[in-house]
Structure 1
Amino acid sequence: MEFDNHKQAAMKATIAEWNSNFYEDKGKFIRNSLNREKCSIVLDRVLAAIKHFQNVVGPSRSPFKTLDDLPDRWKSHYTPIPSINSNIYSIVMAPITEAELLAVINNSPRHKASGPSSIPYE
């Protein structure tokens, strides 16, 4: 009998916590409902991975060094369009610097990253 009372009290406490989370902490409610753990990204590891791929792995190697090396069926797709000024691409083709990356990360909203499930890890 005492065990049943304890079980019932524990169930009521859990239900009360779920109800509270539903209204006050949606992220916790969803995580608990889906039995998921809170995940986070450690930015220093991201930066270490970026440095690794920049310094150790390096850029991808293409067997095609020039436009003339491409197979004929692809040349027309990659040949620059004469009516478009080629200088418009210089900004987007410039490598992203670490300072630019850090500026974007630092200016991003806090606690808003969501994974493939679209559930934010808040």
Structure 2
Amino acid sequence: MTAALPSHLENLASLLPDYSVPTYSTTPASVFKSFLRSQKNLVSAFLSTKFAQHLTDSVEYYTALRDEHFSNSLGTFIDSALSVEKRSIVLDRVLVVLDSTPTLLTDPSDIKQAAISHFQSIVSPPLTRYSSIISFPARWQRAYTPLANVSASLYDPVLAPISLQEWSTVISSMPNNKASGPSKISYEMIKHLSGEALDFSLLLANTCLSRGDIPADWREAVVYPIPKPHDFDAQLKNT
């Protein structure tokens, strides 16, 4: 240990400003211990000063960062203020059961198909399918049977073509800052439609209404798995 002391003191000199390696003697032992104690106190004081400075710098940095988030990103500010941990799921692997054998999927196309199958079947279909009101249980027959004192013509306007005024009102009432989906067409974009573009969108809506159908692409959706409190473990059921 004594033999390595000169190199340690040289390292100390490289860290501490205005420090030069002092002369010392290893004898008597009491004097040498006093010298070592003085160097230890010097290092401790230096580290305490550096730690205090680091703490001050960190407080100032994160205070400024929180102020910036408050001005530019309220969501980030709230997460930071509440110490909310940002958790996400990366679908780069999925564990499924194939022929009673657990299988880890890593191919992107296999993962995509597994995710589609999972989320399409996550809600079980009804155990019994009914073809008409007559086949309903008595309780639901009473609920869904048309009322005799209400004229059926009351519902005729339901399938009437949408007017331009109605269409414009609906478009203007749509909320902003919503996910656009696979089409990448946001509500904000639709709100800027005018002239022929607005007329064409109305024609498209009325065509869907009259045919009782929508384009196949509209049935596609983007699914964002949300992590549960426990780990994902590559299992879609944990989302």
Q: What is the TM-score of this pair, normalised by structure 1?
A: 0.51
Distance 1:41 1:26, change over 3 A: farther
Q: Which residue of 2 aligns with 1:66?
A: 132
Distance 1:51 1:100, change over 3 A: farther
After TM superposition, give the deviation of residue 72 of structure 1 in Å. 2.4
CA distance in 1, matches of 2:215, 2:113: 12
CA distance in 2, matches of 1:47, 1:80: 43
After TM superposition, give the deviation of residue 12 of structure 1 in Å. 1.2
| Counterpart contact for 1:67–1:75, Cα < 8 Å | yes
Q: Secondary structure of 1:17's partner?
A: helix
Q: Secondary structure of 2:219's partner?
A: helix
| Counterpart contact for 1:31–1:38, Cα < 8 Å | no
Q: Which residue of 2 aligns with 1:7?
A: 55
Q: Deviations over 1:28-61 (max 9, x none)?
A: 212212223165898x989865555658x88433
Letter paired with 1:101 = R
Q: Which has the larger radius of gyration?
A: 2
CA distance in 2, matches of 1:53, 1:15: 42
Q: From the two aligned structures, give the one with the greater strand fraction.
A: 2
Q: For 1:1-122, what aligned pairs fall within 5 Å after superposition?
A: 1-2=48-49, 3-36=51-84, 37=86, 49-50=115-116, 59-62=125-128, 64-80=130-146, 83=152, 84-85=155-156, 88=159, 91=209, 98-102=216-220
The alignment yields a C-alpha RMSD, in angstroms, of: 4.4
Letter paired with 2:70 = F
Distance 1:47 1:7, change over 3 A: same
Distance 1:58 1:23, change over 3 A: closer
Q: What is the TM-score of this pair, normalised by structure 2?
A: 0.30
Q: From the two aligned structures, give the one with the greater helix fraction.
A: 1
Unpaired stretches in structure 2, ≥5 consecutive residues: 1-47, 92-108, 160-207, 227-239
Letter paired with 2:218 = E
Unpaired stretches in structure 1, ≥5 consecutive residues: 106-114, 116-122
